[in-house]
Amino acid sequence: MEDVYERLRQKLDGMTKGYPKTARGSEMVFLKKSFSEKEAEFFIKFKPGLQSTQQVAKHMGISLEEAGDRLESMAKKGLLYWERDGSEKRYRIIPFIHGLWEFRVDWFDRDDAANMGQFYIDGFGKTLLDYRLPIARIVPIRPNTVKDGNLLPEDDIEAIIKRQTLIVANDCACRKVALFSKRPCSCTDNINVCIAFGRMAEFMLESNIGNPHVLTVGQALEILYKDDSAGMFVQAAHARECSGFCNCARCHCGILIGAKIEQGTGFETWSNYKCVKDETVCIDCGKCAERCPMKAMSVKDKKALYNPARCFGCGLCVTTCPSGALILDRKPDDRLTIPQDDKFFDNQERMGREKAEADRIRRVQSIS
């Protein structure tokens, strides 16, 4: 019989971007630290989607009391997610990213930080940027960075923030890892900058994950604008009902690190915009190169250069271009990535199905 942690790995590998097996076994370190064997078995047996306590008890063949205790205990450890359906909670299992890694932020230590870096190198960096559907969308930092007002409503982070009734800030897993770096980094000055909305905010707040605190709309917008001045880019949750956004630093963003490890961007479907440059008004000041997270902008022989293939449409270059030479242009309709699901974790399940089909096709092609 296979080890329970290997079966747990296989379960996670079928969710969203996967959880690959590596030669060094770096993926097992996190699992064995986070899950007891009983919790691992419980997670493996859990059905997809939101489940009531009654449904879980029936499926698992355990008492209602035992099911309730196990569900609450694992949710408080960041191993499950829940939403309220009236007065009742309904639970679901969650993928590694976004999910287990972010929800386990309070338990991170130096060894976890080092192991996660190794896991990226050993294989997770590749699978994270593989497949078509994105975990999150990189959205313009400001509405006025998009040409002719062609910002899609799904990508208007300012408007999304303004219509929220519950906003919660939590500790960022990427910046928490950066705290253990040997070299000090300014991105760790404030790590309580991951923003959750609505149901996700309720879960994070009541589960007390990542030092949560409630923000006003004005405070959330202040964080957004501070990100712009500090050169942070924004990733919004990929769902019609946006569950939050990440304030991402070029130095320690896990998604960006994955792209760098793979020597490419991998972001073609992660953004609906590309920067366009008017060479006739560019003054070659190089401010864009200082700001660009993907190094799409560079300076050579005192000339500002732009490589559109590396641009992922964050708009950070646009907001500080003194000559107005840069603007984001919306991609053609057939190249847009629009959320198909209302809820974030429903989109995660869609990614898992996409991965399974893509992996099946690759296996067939490798045999033939």
Q: What ranges do the domains of the chain cover?
A: 4-123, 134-262, 273-333
Reported as a single tens digit per residue, the pLDDT across 58-104 is 999 999 999 999 999 999 999 999 999 888 999 999 999 889 999 99
Reported as a single tens digit per residue, the pLDDT across 95-144 is 998 899 999 999 999 898 888 888 888 888 888 888 788 888 999 999 99
Element (H, E) at 246: strand 244-248
Whether the pLDDT of residue 30 is over 90: the answer is: yes
Task: Say what the pLDDT of residue 214 is.
Answer: 97
| % of residues, the chain, pLDDT over 70 | 98
- Give the pTM: 0.90
Task: Say what the pLDDT of residue 95 is.
Answer: 93
Residue 159 in tokens: 């408007």
Instruction: Could you please state the CATH topology (level 3) that the domain comprising 4-123 is classified under.
Output: Arc Repressor Mutant, subunit A (1.10.10)
Task: Say what the pLDDT of residue 276 is.
Answer: 96
| % of residues, the chain, pLDDT over 90 | 61
Instruction: Return the ∠ at Cα 50 (arms to 46 and 54), rounded to 5°.
Output: 70
The pLDDT-based confidence of 262 (bands split at 50, 70, 90) is low
Task: Say what the pLDDT of residue 365 is.
Answer: 84
Nearest to 96 by CA among 52, 35, 138, 175: 35
Per-residue pLDDT, averaged over 198-215, amounts to 95
Task: Say what the pLDDT of residue 250 is.
Answer: 81
Q: How far apart are the first and last CA of the chain?
A: 31
Residue 366 in tokens: 């490798």
Task: Say what the pLDDT of residue 265 is.
Answer: 65
Give domain 273-333's CATH architecture: 2-Layer Sandwich (3.30)
Which amino acid type is present at position 317?
A: C
Top-confidence residue, 192 or 259: 192
Top-confidence residue, 52 or 133: 52
The pLDDT-based confidence of 202 (bands split at 50, 70, 90) is very high
Per-residue pLDDT, averaged over 268-297, amounts to 93
Write the DSSP assignment of 178-190 as a string of letters. HTT-SS--GGGS-
The pLDDT-based confidence of 56 (bands split at 50, 70, 90) is very high
Q: In Å, what is the CA distance from 179 to each residue of 187, 227, 325?
A: 9, 19, 37
Task: Say what the pLDDT of residue 188 is.
Answer: 80
Q: Distance between CA atoms of 359 and 368, rounded to whole angstroms?
A: 14
Whether the pLDDT of residue 263 is over 70: the answer is: no
Write the DSSP assignment of 132-155 as a string of letters. SS-SEEEE-SSGGGBGGG---GGG
Mean pLDDT of the chain: 90
Name the phi and psi angles at 40, rounded to 5. Answer: -65, -45
Q: In Å, what is the CA distance from 327 to each residue of 102, 274, 300, 305?
A: 33, 8, 21, 15
What are residue 196's DSSP bridge partners? 168, 244
Widest Cα–Cα separation across the chain:
72
Count other C-beta atoms under 10 Å from residue 20's C-beta.
19
